[in-house]
Amino acid sequence: MDDFISENLKVIDYNISEAKAKYRKPDDIIRLMAVTKNIPAELVNKAVSLGVKLLGENRVQEFLDKKDLYDKSAEFNFIGHLQTNKVKYIVNDITLIQSVDSMKLASEIDRLSVKTGKITDILIEVNIGGEASKSGVSPDGLEELIYGISELSGIRIKGLMTIPPVYNTEFYFEKMNGLFFDLKDKNINKTTMEILSMGMSGDYPLAVKHGSNIVRIGTGLFTPFKSERM
C-alpha cells in the first residue's frame, strides 16, 4: 500500500504553508521536489499522481534505468554530483541541472547544448559550509564562476543550490539568501537568479523561511511512516 505517501504529502504541504504564512509573501511560489534516489518508479508515480510534478534525480544510471517508467507529466531536475562524461546522457531530458560547480562541467554542458541547438538551465551548487565531503563552489569563488559561465552561449544560470551543514543550519540558509540577493542585484548577463534551491526532509521549513523556492524531499515523502508537523 502507498497511502503513506498521501499522508506524508499532507504534512509536508502543511509545514510549507505554515512557514510561508509566517515568513514569506502570499504570492511566493514554493515548489516541492520529490527526490527519487533508491525509490521504485511506482512510488514516484504515486507522488506525481498526487500533484508532485517535479522530480530530483541524483544518479545518471538510475535515472536512465527508470525514466521510461515514470509518469510522462513529471519534470526532471538533476541534483546529484555530475561527471563531465555523463552529461551527454541527461542533457536532453533534464529541465534544470542544479549541481554545476565548475567551469569544466559548465563547458561540457555548454558544448552539448550548442551541439543540439538548446539552452540548458542550471543552478550553481554552493558548498556553503566549506565541507570537504560535499561538492560545490566555495562562496569566495562563486561570483568568479558565475561571470565565467555567463560567457557561455548554451547555458542560462537560474540561481543557486546548496546542502548546508547539519549544524547551525539556519545560519547557512541565511548566508545563502544573502549571496542569492547580492548576485541578483548585480544583473549579471544570462543570470536571472530566480531559483534558490535548499532545504531537505529535516530542515525544509527553515529553508522556506530564508527564501528557498524549491525544497528537495525524499525520505520525508517516501518513508512509510507519517511525518510530524514542525
What average pLDDT does range 197-216 have in this prediction?
98
pTM given for the model: 0.95
Residue 1 has pLDDT above 70, yes or no: no
Residue spans of the domains in the chain: they are: 3-222
Task: Determine the average pLDDT of the residues in 85-104.
Answer: 98
Specify burial of residue 220 (Cβ count, 10 A radius: 0-12, 13-18, 19+).
buried
pLDDT digits (tens, 9 = 90+) for 62-86: 999 999 999 999 999 999 999 999 9
pLDDT at 40: 96
Task: Give mean pLDDT, residues 1-12.
Answer: 91
Q: What is the pLDDT of residue 224?
A: 86
pLDDT score of 36 more than 70: yes
Give the Cβ contact number of residue 213 at 10 Å: 18
The pLDDT of residue 72 is 96
Residue 48 has pLDDT above 60, yes or no: yes
Least confident of 1-10, 162-171, 186-195, 200-209: 1-10
Widest Cα–Cα separation across the chain: 50
The answer to whether residue 212 scores a pLDDT higher than 80 is yes
Mean pLDDT of the chain: 96
pLDDT of residue 168: 96
At 198, list the grid cell: 535548499
pLDDT category of residue 26 using cuts at 50, 70 and 90:
very high
Options 3.40.50.300, 3.40.190.10, 3.20.20.10, 2.102.10.10; CATH of 3-222 = 3.20.20.10
Are residues 149 and 108 in contact, defined by beta-carbon separation less than 8 angstroms?
no
Provide the pLDDT for residue 81.
96
The residue-averaged pLDDT of 93-121 equals: 97
Check pLDDT > 70 for residue 229.
Answer: no
User: Which residues lie closer than 8 Å to 143 by C-beta, 6 or more apart?
Assistant: 183, 186
Give every CB contact of residue 10 below 8 A, 6+ residues apart in sequence: none
For the chain, percent of residues with pLDDT exceeding 90: 96
Confidence label for 33 from pLDDT (cuts 50, 70 and 90): very high
Report pLDDT for 225.
57
Q: How far apart are CA 92 and CA 106, in angstroms?
A: 15
Does the structure show a pLDDT above 70 at 180? Answer: yes
Examine the pLDDT at 5 and tell me if it is beyond 60. Answer: yes
